[in-house]
Chain A
């Protein structure tokens, strides 16, 4: 059974269109997440890729119950998380942990590292005694290669570098033995030379514990390194999802193809293919009735502007694109 199941998830934000808009009741909606469905098996790692504004961070926040969905359902270990309250919600929070994008803001500047690490133990009532808690914290810091851990106990966040801080954030998330770890752009604030260390650490720690992970990133290279499954989001919907090697190695959706082709390569001998799609950034305010990508798509057909494509199985991946419509109808 899938550990995490998301079905037809929606999140709409009302747009405050000034005084006139609110007086005359013309409420516009931003469709941040517009019908997202996927499932993550236990121990799997899913990467959510897409440009800024495609709804990937909103999806993560909905899963962590930091936001309430407008529609759809999220199931964790078979249980709908919508109605969770009190002790059940607390238990869920322990099982689903978050690694934030900006480690400089994820730790209270007035707390020592020890105090910051102690907080989740207090909240979730873990560790029977002070010594047990000290041991747990020391062990967690050691696992993220902050060695010797005691040397970091009394340090404040401003004493540490970005890479060290992100290690603390990871250690803190893993301290409560979660089942699901959601990481939103975990290394984008870090320097290139320390990124690899943090990525390796997250990969080793999560694989070693059989942890289920969800990585949110705009960086396809990072996702291909970290994730077994990749989902590409566009304007609040998933346009392609499947095994990473397939999605990135043989992209099917024209948007995924453009994304992959647009990634610059450090090898100057590698000539980057021209990406023939417009750079006008779409707005989640007016989502067209048909395919959300139709306006930028180089292979747009008449049907794309009328009918919204749904995800369908094409050669081992799921693609929401009319180009592959005939394949499935022939198979069906």
Chain B
């Protein structure tokens, strides 16, 4: 059992056009002290999942099923007050666009102290000295606690927001795109700081990002999300070296790398499905060069083999598929032909 265990967690948004099934049964486990990277494109449900985990879903969203256990406790059964005992004290979050999440009219130190007083029940003076301590930890001079957010650079604000998340010594930190808005050198330094912090504090990390390189830098495990589901999950090195899901395989050839010389990038043709009306079969089938009839008919479950999990009917053939993956995706671009079986002909 891990620190965090999800089983079939589902989240829906109510919209004018009906329900959008943003998270469609996510099962994941994060052992204490480890870092899990959750990667996926925009709209795949990763941020919705993060917000569900810390209980700050927007009003039109609700959890429609599954189980969410934290440290053995079923969180979905806790009421609002029960959840509050966990929020920030045991599960903290570095939100997306962290730079804009500081109150512009309050000094940074006051914001940190306020959080610690309200959430952690600390006295103001204890909170302020904890703020100094945690500022040093993230590489900021304690003197900067007296500054307003606009007096800090982007990198410093990001560090301050990370400090705020760590203030009450949480067991789990959920970081949503923590370095996306930063320039490459600042990003590099914040990533290094996060890695050092993980080593010194032993905090567990759920890192949400669209950038697989950031995960490679910081995480032990990676889970790839597509259309509201986890399609692949395993140790970073394994998933990178031997991906078993065609989507993960395709991503590797789909963006330029600085260190591997690529003559030609191979895009993944098409677009993710509309989650108003999720497909009956595998959500990736329309974009998958390896789709077979079965893929259109039934949605593959996440199956574990050799410590790796993949949701693909052809995962057992992954080694063979990897060999021809670039050519296969390329053919889809060239032909612009629909995959072997068109969805309408299924029934």
Contact = CB atoms under 8 A, between A and B. Distances in A.
Interface of A: 51-52, 145, 147, 161, 163, 191-197, 199-200, 218-222, 224-225, 248, 258-270, 272, 274-275, 277, 279-281
B111 to A, nearest CB: 22
B262 A225 contact: yes
A59 B319 CA distance: 48
B45 interface: no
B267 A196 contact: yes
Given A221-B257, A262-B188, A269-B240, 18 more contacts: A51-B184, A191-B210, A192-B255, A193-B250, A193-B267, A194-B268, A195-B255, A225-B262, A248-B258, A264-B187, A264-B211, A264-B213, A264-B216, A265-B259, A266-B216, A269-B237, A280-B155, A281-B183
B262 A268 contact: no
B41 interface: yes
Interface string B186-219: 1111111000000000000000001111101100
B153 A280 contact: yes
A279 B240 contact: no
Nearest to A199: B265
B251 interface: yes
A193 B259 contact: no
Contacts of A161: 271
B42 interface: yes
Given A199-B256, A262-B185, A263-B258, A268 B216 contact: yes
Contacts of A274: 192
10 shortest interchain CB distances as A-B pairs: A197-B267, A196-B267, A262-B188, A264-B213, A196-B265, A225-B256, A51-B183, A221-B256, A268-B216, A193-B268
Contacts of B269: 197
B264 interface: yes
Interface in B226-256: 236-237, 240-241, 250-256
Contacts of A279: 153, 155, 185-186, 189-190
B244 to A, nearest CB: 17
Contacts of A225: 256, 262, 265
B81 interface: no
Contacts of B212: 266
A275 B185 contact: yes
Contacts of A264: 187-188, 191, 211, 213-214, 216-217
B184 A263 contact: yes
B336 interface: yes
A275 B193 CA distance: 12
B287 to A, nearest CB: 8
Nearest to B181: A52
A265 B257 contact: yes
Contacts of A218: 183-184
B266 interface: yes
B252 A266 contact: yes
B281 interface: no
Given A192-B210, A264-B213, A275 B188 contact: yes
B333 interface: yes
Nearest to A225: B256
Nearest to A201: B267
Nearest to B192: A274
Contacts of A193: 41, 250-251, 254, 267-268
B278 interface: no
B271 A268 contact: no
Contacts of B42: 191
Nearest to B183: A51
B295 to A, nearest CB: 18
A265 B185 contact: no
Given A264-B211, A266-B240, A200 B256 contact: no
B2 interface: no
B41 A260 contact: no
B81 to A, nearest CB: 39
Contacts of B191: 264
A147 B252 CA distance: 27
B170 interface: no
Contacts of B300: none
Nearest to B255: A192
A221 B255 contact: yes
14 contacts: A192-B211, A192-B255, A193-B254, A196-B253, A196-B266, A197-B333, A220-B258, A221-B256, A258-B185, A264-B191, A265-B213, A266-B213, A270-B216, A279-B190
Interface in B261-295: 262, 264-269, 271
A270 B259 contact: yes
B270 to A, nearest CB: 9
Contacts of A280: 153, 155
Nearest to B236: A268
A263 B260 CA distance: 13
A280 B141 CA distance: 13
A222 B213 contact: no
Given A163-B271, A193-B268, A262-B184, A222 B216 contact: no
Contacts of B237: 268-269
